[in-house]
Structure 1
Amino acid sequence: MRNKYILPLFASLTLSFSACASTDENIAVVDTAQGLSGKVFAGYQGWYRTPTDGSGLGWEHYETYDEKFKPGEAGIDFWPDMSEFPESEKYATSFKHKDGSTAYVFTSQSQGTVDLHFKWMKDYGIDGIFLQRFAHDVLEGGHHQWELLQPSNNKMAEYVQLGAQGHGRSYSIMYDLSSIRHGEMPMVMDDWRGLCDRLGILKDPNYLHENGKPLVAIWGVGFRNRAYTIDEISTLVEFFKNDPEYGGCTVMLGVPTYWRTLERDATDDPKLHDLIRSADVVLPWTVGRFGGAKTALKRGIDYVTPDQEWCDANGVHYMPLAFPGFSWGNRYKHENAKYDHIPREGGQFLWNQAIAAKRAGADTLYIAMFDEMDEGTQIFKTTNNPPAGETRLLTYEPHEPDYYLRLSGAVGRMLRDEIPATDTLPEEL
């Protein structure tokens, strides 16, 4: 996600609901949308674009910080596995494979691509996703390209809804408050009203519910040096919970790693704890804060267990996070960023975070992320035959492209006690 890591440690949618949502006979409703317990979720960026996909955003999130995407200059550290994409969903690049053939990528601005991703979620046992919605990108006058980003992100919300409905998965909106300014919370509320009106979210059976209510997440709560205040977020929480027309929601807060102790990445304002108590679910953001499979187990004792105990004592549902590894060597090559900075250790790093959460008493897990290749946290299929040449690209070798999808599905089974939370990786994925 944007601005969430610590180095080195680490045309608006105008369709009506009836036009854009699936018809009843095409909606695959399953219990993945009811409750968090016993389920594994992933964050979903959906932010990749190409120059010819109609978005007007160029090589969005494939490119470097200075908007270059060519051999020797890229913004991703892995390459997507394109073997299951039809020709119509493949976009040619200037990169070449070892045999001289053209390397292709996808755009997230495609219902076909999003549908394939949701098919993978169903095939491998991932219960649903949180669609990251950057408030700065969709608010009028926010991002310098907001006039392109707003309609593009609105289409993504539509595509995600259709993908979830088509494959019996759940989805939830996660507002990322990064870069928004003081006084802009009312614009976030307006954006939510628009989503609800266009997509019928509050009545969508595939929209994620907790405690019988639609769940909406707010990320960026309680971090140091933000332009907005805890009081402003309290007003947003109040809106999501109690607005007579657009409220009635369960609220999840994405908070810093050290939210409980009010130190390091967290504000030292004790009002943060009052805010968390006023919400329903808390998600501490730990991506990039540590590395190593052994460290993951120790953190379970030192941090995850006390976090869980605090939440139990205060009536808040605790949702810990796990991430498979971390690498942004290409995106920040100009700053000499390290490739494979937090190694995946063949899946052991991810697995140890998951079993540490389970042993601490957690009953659900958020995996960061489903599709984030630019920071090397993705779990979806990437190729073991990336383009050759000047750009260094990592792979899952010796494992197959679907290895981390299979492992994520095993995490869900472990949370439901279908397989044990063993120190070693599951023998069969």
Structure 2
Amino acid sequence: MMRLTLTYFACAAGAVFGGVPGMSLSAQNLPASPGRVNTATLTGKVMCGYQGWFAVPSDAINRGWYHYAMGGVLEPGRCKFDLWPDMSDMGDDEKYAAPGFVTASGEQAYLFSSQNRTTVVRHFRWMQDYGIDGVFVQRFASEVRGAGLTQFNNVLESCRAGARLHGRSYAVMYDLSGLKLGQTSSVIADWKMLVGTKKITNDPTYQRHNDKPVVAVWGIGFSDGRQYTLQECEALVDFLKNDTTYGGCTVMVGVPTHWRTLEGDAVADSLLLTICKKADIVSPWFVGRPHTLEAVSTHAEGVVVPDLAWCTYYGREYLPVVFPGFSWHNMKPESPMNLIPRLKGKFLWSQYYKYIGSGATMIYQAMFDEIDEGTAIFKCTNDPPVGASMFVDYEGQPTDTYLWLAGQGGRMLRREVALSDSIPPRSPADVEDRGEEHPQGFQLDQNYPNPFNPGTQIGYEIPEDTFVDISIYSLVGEKVATLVNRTQPAGRYRIAWDGMNEEGLKMPSGVYVGRLHSSSYCMSKKMVLIR
């Protein structure tokens, strides 16, 4: 296997770069990632919700087929999820045979476990591959005890490892659903443990905003009969913002769609608005609200625009939620299969286009791994099991379609590509494995755009499986950032540089020189950053 090093560098003849650091899955000991995101701000970021709640009977937590089974039983006709994950990338140690589920060709179908660190870290690699910034790791407040605490601690540690290894960010999101009266104190106790014992806010991959660690509290002010009160929620927000030991956070509140008007899915209580004014970021839950492309436009004009105006007036920030489609027939048989169709990506893209055009500066993507309600964007198969349970698929689109779309939505958010209501064409350069279309030689493309601000794309081709290192250097030879540092199969690739260094700081205007070299090939390109 040939070793290829692709370096954006102020060229010095004969300079040699190499070495692959050993990699551990310990969140504390992992090496810094190539091309890591800037964890200092949420502005310009697409953050996914990450449920991490799937378990299998062989897991040590002993929760059976958790979030797969219906009534504790997983078999054809008794399951509670509508999308089947694509398991083709998974290793044998990540595949768990689903009893009785077979494909149309008679092959055994497999599921994954969120307790398997290899799988969670793989999910973060996908985020890196497609340019998704990070996740809000869901922490279900009613379950932060016993087996549930062990389960979600394991997932959180795996997310820390994945974020560090693949240069993504993460933040904790508490989902208050299911709490009873007076139980919000469990959130405070859990946060004290995470900050005091696990030291998560000291983690360089933990997401921050306005120089403060971000923590989200979801489920405030919904009119669906929740037992915990708005007064409890207000006290929780006050604690996270103002406690002298565990506070000092940027607090995001997850609220109903109609939080601002106090109607519909929101309680008719002005204390909800008071809480939103105390918080730093308001994030209304839009999943299931618009059902059609036309409804997305109406929703943007009638909800998002006035929401943004309110937030601007009161000095708050706004994190709208986008989702690719919706289906929960196996969980709720009375609901039609494929209730909100994906329209081959058009439904999701229309939300990115409308909300960004309305002024959104950050996006919450629902959800990375939510197959229960059919909102997942990770790889799901077009060849699900057949039989007593029915499943939706990705309408014949590549299984990575929604990972790619979320990454493209982030580029549009950051104005790296023009705002457009049309899904961008997907060239072979955007697909990691090009199948039969392999390049015939090494090639380094001129970055585009050039000059650029704030980011640019670098295309390259490799004709064989080889180790690839892509780094950015200043004209004086100082290393600015590492973008890729791993083995890749033959193919054409594109990687983005956001104009920032390894510390997440903006590089100044100037000329950067790229050099591609291997044992048999060398080529340089100039790239110009203009602030």
- Residue 415 of structure 1: which of 413, 416, 441 is its match? 413
Partner of 2:8: none
Q: Supply the distance in 2 between the matched residues of 1:230 and 1:62 (Cα, whole angstroms).
A: 32
Whether 1:250 and 2:250 are equivalent positions in the alignment is yes
The aligned amino acid for 1:184 is Q
Partner of 2:209: 210
The aligned amino acid for 2:138 is Q
The aligned amino acid for 1:236 is L
**Contact 2:32–2:167 (CA<8 Å) still a contact in 1?**
no
Partner of 1:16: none
The aligned amino acid for 1:194 is M
Partner of 1:193: 192
Q: Supply the distance in 2 between the matched residues of 1:73 and 1:116 (Cα, whole angstroms).
A: 28
Q: Supply the distance in 2 between the matched residues of 1:91 and 1:26 (Cα, whole angstroms).
A: 32
> Runs in 1 of length 4+ with deviation above 2 angstroms?
19-22, 24-32
- Find the structure with the greater CA-based Rg: 2
Deviates more, 1:365-374 or 1:224-233: 224-233
The aligned amino acid for 1:321 is V
Q: Supply the distance in 2 between the matched residues of 1:182 and 1:389 (Cα, whole angstroms).
A: 43
**Structure 1 residues 418, 113: CA separation in 2 closer, same or farther (over 3 Å shift)?**
same
**Contact 1:29–1:205 (CA<8 Å) still a contact in 2?**
no
Partner of 1:71: 76
Partner of 2:371: 373
- Residue 351 of structure 1: which of 349, 352, 357 is its match? 349
Q: Supply the distance in 2 between the matched residues of 1:185 and 1:93 (Cα, whole angstroms).
A: 36
Whether 1:171 and 2:153 are equivalent positions in the alignment is no
- Residue 337 of structure 1: which of 331, 335, 338 is its match? 335
| 1:370-428, Cα deviation, whole Å (9 max, x unpaired) | 00101100000001111122221111132110000000101000001111221221123
Task: Looking at secondary structure, tell me which structure has more helix per residue.
Answer: 1
Partner of 1:137: 143
Partner of 2:278: 278
Deviates more, 1:391-400 or 1:116-125: 391-400
| 1:1-42, Cα deviation, whole Å (9 max, x unpaired) | xxxxxxxxxxxxxxxxxx953315355683432211111111
Deviates more, 1:317-326 or 1:388-397: 388-397
Q: Supply the distance in 1 between the matched residues of 2:232 and 2:202 (Cα, whole angstroms).
A: 27
Task: Looking at secondary structure, tell me which structure has more strand per residue.
Answer: 2
Q: Supply the distance in 1 between the matched residues of 2:313 and 2:35 (Cα, whole angstroms).
A: 34
Displacement after TM superposition at 1:290 (Å): 2.5
Superposed CA RMSD = 1.6
Normalising by structure 2, we get a TM-score of: 0.74
**Contact 1:28–1:165 (CA<8 Å) still a contact in 2?**
no
Q: Supply the distance in 2 between the matched residues of 1:187 and 1:377 (Cα, whole angstroms).
A: 28
Q: Supply the distance in 2 between the matched residues of 1:86 and 1:236 (Cα, whole angstroms).
A: 42
Deviates more, 1:116-125 or 1:234-243: 234-243
User: What is the total number of aligned residue pairs between the two structures?
Assistant: 402
Partner of 1:142: none
The aligned amino acid for 1:420 is A
- Structure 2 unaligned blocks of 5 or more: 1-24, 431-531
Q: Supply the distance in 2 between the matched residues of 1:26 and 1:423 (Cα, whole angstroms).
A: 37
**Contact 1:49–1:60 (CA<8 Å) still a contact in 2?**
yes
Partner of 2:402: 404
The aligned amino acid for 2:407 is G
Partner of 2:220: 221
Question: 1:51-90 maps to which residues of 2 (within 5 A)?
Answer: 51-64=57-70, 66-90=71-95
SS of the residue 2:170 aligns to: strand
